[in-house]
Amino acid sequence: MNSWEKSGFYKAYTPTKAGTKEPILAYTKKENQLTWSQCEPYPGVLGLLAEDSVLVDSDEEIHSQNLRKVIEGEKLGALLTGRSGGRGYHALLKNGGLITKNHTHVMLACGIMADIKIGSKNGLECLKFDGEERSIVYDAEEYEVSLHGDIITSYTQLLR
């Protein structure tokens, strides 16, 4: 079992077309939801977020760096990933029902511009692109839903 599977943030995986983030298979069909080992040979892989997962994707460098500072500085129960020469960080947290829909280009209350994807709305994360897998930058290893004083509280106030 690899780190992606151990984290519990993904219910399944699906391969992508070469050089794109477009899935090869209709990933919403259960029979097309594969294991990591089935997808690993492909140059691109998407992780299908588990029902209780939230992805905070911050691509702009300044916002991305601030996202990392908040996650690490507050020691949040999160998984933070990056890509070499990449376009920012992805933070994975547990939802607990606080966020009910996906959002694009929202300014979080803590001043970070991000996209928000949730597992209950078929959210995806690109874990491997052109043969290069995202790397884990920070891993709390114990993921919990925080209800006060953290990034979840900050952005749910804006998204309701």
Long-range contacts of residues 17-23, Cβ cutoff 8 Å, at least 24 apart = 17/44, 18/43, 18/44, 18/130, 19/43, 19/44, 19/130, 20/44, 21/46, 21/126, 21/129, 23/124
Q: What's the pTM?
A: 0.86
pLDDT given for residue 151 in this prediction: 52
Q: How confident is the model at residue 146 (pLDDT cuts 50, 70, 90)?
A: low
Note the pLDDT tens digit of each residue in 117-128. 999 999 999 999
| Domain residue ranges in the chain | 3-159
Q: Please compute, for residue 127, the number of CA atoms within 13 A of its CA located in the half-sphere on the CB side.
A: 24
User: For residues 58 and 108, is the Cβ–Cβ distance under 8 A?
Assistant: no
